[in-house]
């Protein structure tokens, strides 16, 4: 074999080894991309499961009222978390004081939410309809300081007890801060009917996605309550 042939043979062997190296790198890159895609798919699946298990984040329905809402947790059939909170008028109000009566809890966004206060006015204007629906009392709960709530209640000439939950202990117990446009820092627009035995009979969270409802006519709310409440 002459020198030219030897050189040509060496070049062929070197080219063959180079192709093998490139092929190995391509296989490694394909494996890497497949691995990353698999991890991403698992992450998306995990996020979906978290979303599905989040309280009241899915399954919104318009119900008979036409207003979309969910029923978060604790929901109908659960024992209502007890509480004692300061009213805007300065006194202490306990849920246990209403044992033997049906009390409607109205969690709302607070001082800066005009529709929320309009909601309380509308509830007061429809007390007869509330009584007919079996609601004996209404309590509103928000996270603002009691003294500021008291001033707002006086300005609006309201008689409904509005309770201060500044630490959000009660809001968290009812997960009422999961359904509003302010994220978890404020309550949304949730109604919870607590029965005479201290158990939740009905719940509707209107303040979350997609509509972020902050007001609905009392008659519409009672339409949902009547249709959805448990015995």
Answer whether residue 70 is part of any domain.
Answer: no
pLDDT of the residue at 31: 55
Report whether 87 contacts 162 (CB < 8 A): yes
Answer whether residue 179 is part of any domain.
Answer: yes
Q: Are residues 111 and 204 in the same domain?
A: yes
Q: In what order do the strands lie in the sheet with 137-142?
A: 92-94, 84-87, 162-164, 137-142, 103-107, 190-194, 200-205
Answer whether residue 77 is part of any domain.
Answer: no
Beta bridge partners of 86: 92, 164
Q: How far apart are CA 52 and CA 213, in angstroms?
A: 22
Q: Are residues 169 and 90 in the same domain?
A: yes
Active site residues: 116
**Domain count across the chain:** 2
Question: Where residue 136 sits, what CATH number does that domain have?
Answer: 3.40.30.10
Q: Are residues 111 and 37 in the same domain?
A: no
pLDDT band at 49 (very low <50, low <70, confident <90, very high): very low
Residue 94 or 47, more confident: 94
Answer whether residue 62 is part of any domain.
Answer: no
Indicate left, alpha or beta for 102 from its phi (over 0: left) and psi (-120 to 50: alpha): beta
User: pLDDT digit string (tens) for 145-174?
Assistant: 999 999 999 999 999 999 999 999 999 999
pLDDT band at 200 (very low <50, low <70, confident <90, very high): very high
What is the 8-class DSSP label of residue 100?
T
| Average pLDDT of the segment spanning 36-64 | 49
- 168 is in which domain, residue-wise? 84-228
């Amino acid at each position: 074999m002459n020198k030219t042939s030897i050189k040509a043979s060496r070049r062929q062997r070197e080219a063959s080894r180079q192709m093998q190296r490139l092929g190995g790198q391509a296989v490694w890159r394909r494996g890497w991309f497949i691995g990353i895609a698999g991890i991403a798919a698992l992450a998306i699946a995990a996020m979906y499961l978290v979303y599905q298990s989040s309280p009241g984040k899915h399954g919104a329905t318009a119900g008979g009222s036409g207003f979309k809402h969910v029923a978060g947790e604790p929901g109908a059939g659960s024992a209502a978390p007890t509480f004692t909170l300061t009213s805007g008028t300065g006194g202490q109000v306990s849920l246990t004081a209403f044992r033997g009566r049906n009390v409607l809890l109205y969690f709302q966004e607070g001082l800066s939410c005009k529709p929320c206060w309009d909601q309380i006015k509308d509830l007061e204007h429809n007390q007869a309809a509330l009584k007919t629906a079996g609601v004996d009392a209404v309590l509103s709960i928000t996270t603002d300081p009691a003294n500021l709530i008291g001033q707002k209640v006086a300005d609006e000439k309201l008689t409904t007890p509005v309770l201060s939950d500044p630490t959000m202990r009660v809001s968290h117990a009812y997960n009422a801060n999961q359904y509003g446009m302010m994220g978890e820092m404020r309550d949304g627009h949730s109604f919870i009917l607590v029965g005479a035995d201290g158990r939740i009979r009905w719940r509707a969270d209107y303040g979350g996605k997609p509509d972020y409802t902050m007001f609905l006519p009392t008659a519409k709310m009672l339409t949902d309550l009547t249709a959805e409440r448990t015995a």
